[in-house]
Amino acid sequence: IAIDDLGVQAVSFTGSQSGIITNARHNRARIIEVRPYRLVDELDAGRVVVVAGYQGVSYAREITTLGRGGTDTTAVALAAALEAEYCEIFSDVDGVYTADPRVVEGAERLDSLHHDEMLALARHGARVLNQDCVEYASRHGVAIFAKAAFGPKDDSGTVVRLNPGREASVVTAIAHRKRLCELTLSPSGAPERLLEELTSAGASPETCEGGGDLPLRITFPLDDTHGLEALCDRLQESHGEALTIRSDRGSVTIVGHGLGEEPTLLRRSLSIATEAANEPVPMQLGPLALTFIVPASVVTDTVKRLHAELLES
C-alpha cells in the first residue's frame, strides 16, 4: 500500500505464493528449493514485489517457518533463485564488527568477509546475519551486503562473499553467547540417546567434544530453546546421575584462519579466558573457530580482554 501511494505498482506474496519449498520441520524449516515463477511474471510486468519473509510451504503443503533470522534467509534464497549477484540486507546495525560494538567500544567494522568466516561468527552468536542465511548464500554464490536501514545511502556496510578481496587474518573477529546450556555425560551414559533427545527438542548443539572413554560435553544456545526446564527434567530422568546439567554458561569464540597453527596465540587466549573465568575453561578448536566455555557472568569481560589482546595491539 505504501509503495502504491508513491505512484509505483506493487504486489505482495506470502512465502508459499513465492514458491519457497521447505522440509516438514515447522519451527526451523530448511529451504529445499525455490520456484519463483509468479515473482518473475510480476517483475517482468514492471511491478515491485514484496515478499513475506520467515515462511514457506512444505512438500506436504503445510505452512512452515524458517526460525530465527528466517527473513534474511528468505531474501538470500530469492536472490539466488532470481540469479542475482548480491543481496542487500538492511537492519539496525551498519555491518559486521570485530566484536559486538555494544560490548567493546574499540570494535571496528569489517569492510569484507568470506562466507566461511561469517558463518563461523553466526554459529557462535554474532547476530548481524543468520547462519542459515549465510550458509545458503555460500552454497549458491550470492554476496551479501549488511547495511544499516537508516545509515548514509552511500555506506557500503560489510560485504560477505566468496572472494572478499583481502588477505586472510589469523584473527578476524570475536563472537559470543551469554546464554548456553552445558550437558556433561559420563562415559557410562548413552550418548546416542542424549543426542536423539536434543534433536527431538529442537536444541542445536554449538559445541560437542569428548565421548568414548571421556565424558561427553555438549553445549547448546538457549535463545531458540523452548521449555528448557521441562527439557532438563526429561533429560535428568532419562540419564540420571550420568548427566550433569548447567544452564549458567556462555561462550566466547575467536574466528580466524590458521588458529591451530599459532600455538602462542592459543596459549595466550586460554590464559586470558582462564583468568577471567577464575576456573578451568573447556576449549574447542575447529578449522575457523576457537571456542571457550565460560560462566555466563564473565562473558563480557572475556570478550573485552581477548579483543584488547588480539585485535587492538
**Which residues pair with residue 50 across a beta bridge?**
12
Rounded Cα–Cα distance for residues 146 and 95 (Å): 5
Mean pLDDT of 190-200: 89
Is residue 151 predicted with pLDDT exceeding 80? no
Of 6, 85, 11, 84, nearest in space to 45 by CA:
11
Is residue 19 predicted with pLDDT exceeding 70? yes
Q: DSSP states of 152-185 as a string?
A: -TT---EEEES--SSPPPS--EEEEEEEEEEEEE
Contact indicator for 137, 87 with CB cutoff of 8 Å? yes
Is residue 168 predicted with pLDDT exceeding 80? no
State residue 311's pLDDT score: 93
State residue 8's pLDDT score: 95
**Which residues pair with residue 112 across a beta bridge?**
159
State residue 223's pLDDT score: 74
Question: pLDDT category, 127, cuts 50, 70, 90?
Answer: confident
What's the pLDDT tens digit per position in 86-114?
Answer: 999 998 889 999 999 999 999 999 999 99
Size of the chain in residues: 313
- The HSE-up count of residue 87 (CA atoms within 13 Å, CB side) is 24
Of 22-26, 112-116, 179-183, 236-240, the one with minimum mean pLDDT is 22-26
State residue 300's pLDDT score: 96
State residue 51's pLDDT score: 96
Rounded Cα–Cα distance for residues 35 and 72 (Å): 18
Is residue 216 predicted with pLDDT exceeding 90? yes
The DSSP secondary-structure symbol of 47 reads P
Is residue 313 predicted with pLDDT exceeding 70? no
Mean pLDDT of 147-171: 84
Q: Other CB atoms closer than 10 Å to residue 240's CB: what's the count?
A: 11
Question: For 190, phi and psi rounded to 5 degrees?
Answer: -115, 90
Question: pLDDT category, 266, cuts 50, 70, 90?
Answer: very high
State residue 24's pLDDT score: 87
What torsion do the CA atoms of 129, 133, 134, 138 make, to the nearest 10 degrees?
Answer: -160
State residue 224's pLDDT score: 65
Q: DSSP states of 111-145 as a string?
A: SEEEHHHHHHHHHTT--SS-HHHHHHHHHHT-EEE
Is residue 41 predicted with pLDDT exceeding 90? yes
Under DSSP, is residue 92 helix (H, G, I), strand (E, B) or coil?
Answer: coil
The DSSP secondary-structure symbol of 278 reads T
Tell me the residue type at 52.
A
Of 56-70, 128-142, 251-265, the one with minimum mean pLDDT is 56-70
State residue 204's pLDDT score: 80
The angle at the Cα of 148, spanning 49 to 166, to the nearest 5 degrees, equals 105
Residues 6+ apart with CB under 8 A from 287: 260
Mean pLDDT of 231-254: 93
Q: Which three cell numbers stand for residue 247?
A: 544452564
State residue 84's pLDDT score: 94
Mean pLDDT of 155-177: 88
- Average pLDDT score, the chain: 91
